[in-house]
Amino acid sequence: MKFLQPLQETMSREQLRDVQGERLRAVVARVYRDVPFYKRKLDEAGVHPSDIRTIDDIVKLPFTTKEDFRDNYPFGLYAKPLSEIVRSHASSGTTGKPTVVGYTKADINLWADCCARTLVCGGADRTSVVQVAYGYGLFTGGLGMHYGVERLGAMAIPMSGGNSKRQLMIMRDFGTTHICCTPSYALLLAEVAEEEGFDLRSLGLKAGYFGAEPWSTSMRKAIEERLGITAIDIYGLSEVIGPGVSSECLAHRGLHVFEDHFFPEIIDPVSGKPCPDGEKGELVFTHLTKEGLPLLRYRTRDITEIDHGPCDCGRTFARMQRVSGRTDDMLIIRGVNVFPSQIEHVLLEIEGAEPHYQIIVDRRGTLDDLEIQVEVSPTMFSDEVKKMEGLRKRIAHDIHSTLNVTAKITLVESKSIPRSEGKAKRVIDKRDMN
Ligand code: DLL
């Protein structure tokens, strides 16, 4: 099986442009009519839906940002009444509240198609046994890929994340051929397998679909060697749909963006001007077909470049290079998105904790390790171990319940974290991503 939807995935660039233009006209008219936020935004920008004729007119439209989600929390950007929304997911917001996204029945179908395309890109077919080890829940990874497996007609094993020994047992007993998880989790599985004397390379594993966090070429090499598979880089974000936005194919020449649904642009993050092919900039997406939450020119903050040239696999969709960084300070720790501002938000709520902190991220073995050093107010700083331990536990608990990651909390004396005269250096990231 070469393509899931050959008509769409291999249509000529000219034909694709026409489809994109037609869909853009329709989506702009729809959000102008149905989403008060967009009516206001377009009016302010002096753009009317009738100004949009071809896909090139997209540059006339204003950008949408993550802050717009925060300002319209939870459902203010939805373009359909809640009676037509069949599911909501969420990802981290920049402060205490998550970014919420909604899907109609048609959106869920579209998402399943895109995740199934992703699976076919990496060689899976109806006979495949696909272990989904992304988290199931508000995170889009688990359910997104799960529906993709079912859409393809392969067999889904809905493992969710964690419980590595059990993952390995199921992998062997069920004859898993394809695995979906974060790249760091793939390496952890390899490590646990080695400890258990379990030869992963002797199983029938063929390929893995890895994404949700940045990974390096050395990680790719390690995964391919230790698991004996082909590693496929898959990219997506909740605001756009979840996984299924773009995927590497077996030619490994970048990630094909499913541009008949998600129109990509690369812009200069400072000027907002479009960048030509081959130049790095911020990736921006416009929904062409989504119903529940269509976004115009959504700024992902991810940095990459795009190539519209043909690919050996036959797909005509443009290819983005692997994400090489972000324009903001978002960190991804064990697959969970973390903004330093969220940590600050938590600390400000706790008496005795000062908003002076430093975040240290490192990689212990294959897993990310998060340490937060927090200054304690002089009145709270005490020799009494019990009191300090109580404060430490409270911070650890609140960080975990807000961010969904476990952090090691180290309490330090007031004024011991270096002050900066410019931008505070909040994050020390010791992980090697090259
Ligand atoms: O991580 C969706 C997803 C799930 C993608 C499973 C792939 C596989 P969010 O939690 O909203 O959604 O996080 C989106 O994660 O803006 C990127 O910064 C980062 N990201 C996702 N895939 C990749 C990748 C999911 N392949 C944010 N390489 C995005 C680098 C990635 N970064």
Which pLDDT does position 341 carry in this prediction? 87
Task: Give the pair of three-digit tokens for residue 218.
Answer: 């050395």
> Are 54 and 17 a contacting pair, CB within 8 Å?
yes
Whether the CB-CB separation of 295 and 239 falls below 8 Å is answered with yes
Cα atoms in the 13 Å half-sphere on the side-chain side of 399: 27
Cβ within 8 Å of residue 225, ≥6 positions away: none
Q: What is the pLDDT of residue 89?
A: 98
Interatomic CA distance for residues 88 and 208, integer angstroms: 27
The whole-number pLDDT of residue 423 equals 66
Q: Is 284 in the pocket of ligand 1 (CB under 6 A)?
A: no
CA 16, chain centre distance (Å): 26
Which residue has 């062409």 as its token pair?
288
User: What separation in Å is there between the alpha carbon of 21 and the centre of ligand 1?
Assistant: 27
Q: Is the CB of 38 under 6 A from ligand 1?
A: no
So what's the pLDDT on residue 52? Answer: 98
Q: Which CATH number fits domain 336-429: 3.30.300.30, 1.10.10.10, 2.40.50.140, 3.40.50.300?
A: 3.30.300.30
Average pLDDT of adjacent 10-residue blocks, the chain of 434 residues: 97 98 98 98 98 98 97 98 98 87 98 98 98 96 98 98 95 98 92 92 96 90 95 98 98 98 97 96 98 98 97 98 92 91 90 90 89 90 84 96 93 87 80 73
**Is residue 243 lining ligand 1, measured as CB closer than 6 Å?**
yes
| Spacing, Cα 235 to ligand 1 middle (Å) | 5
Q: Which pLDDT belongs to residue 422?
A: 66
Distances (CA, A) of 428 to 18, 139, 157: 47, 26, 37
Chain centroid, CA 267 distance in Å: 19
Query: No. of H helices and E strands in the chain?
Result: 11, 21
Q: What is the pLDDT at residue 85? A: 98
* Phi, psi angles (nearest 5°) of residue 361: -110, 130
**pLDDT for 276:** 97
Its CATH architecture, for the domain 7-15+65-327, is 3-Layer(aba) Sandwich (3.40)
Nearest Cα residue to atom 1 of ligand 1 = 212
171 contact partners, CB below 8 Å, separation of at least 6: 131, 179, 200, 203, 205
- DSSP 3-state assignment of 320? strand
Q: β-strands 129-132, 178-181: how paired?
A: parallel
Contacts of 316 (CB under 8 A, 6+ apart): 9, 10, 11, 12, 13, 16, 310
- In the chain, where does the domain assigned CATH 3.30.300.30 lie? 336-429
Do residues 415 and 375 lie in contact, with contact meaning Cβ atoms separated by under 8 Å? yes
What are the tokens at 25? 């006209």
Run of H or E including 217: helix 217-227
pTM as predicted: 0.92
183-195 vs 217-227: helix axis angle to the nearest 10?
40
Tokens 């304690």 — which residue? 376
Using the mean position of ligand 1's atoms as its centre, give its distance from the Cα of residue 312 in Å. Answer: 25
Of the residues 302, 320, 329, 336, which should be mutated to test ligand 1's pocket, given the most ligand atoms within 8 Å of the CB? 302
In this predicted structure, what is the pLDDT of residue 93? 83
- Could you tell me if the CB of 131 is within 6 A of ligand 1? no
Torsion of CA 399, 401, 404, 410, to 10 degrees: 20
pLDDT of residue 378: 86
Kindly list the distances between the CA atom of residue 34 and the CA atoms of 39, 76, 102, in Å, as whole numbers in the listed order.
8, 11, 15
Residues of the chain with CATH 3.40.50.12780: 7-15+65-327
The pLDDT score that the predictor gives to residue 434 is 63
Which residue owns the Cα nearest ligand 1 atom 9?
237
Q: Report yes or no: 323 and 305 within 8 Å, Cβ to Cβ.
A: no
Q: What is the pLDDT of residue 354?
A: 86
pLDDT of residue 87: 98
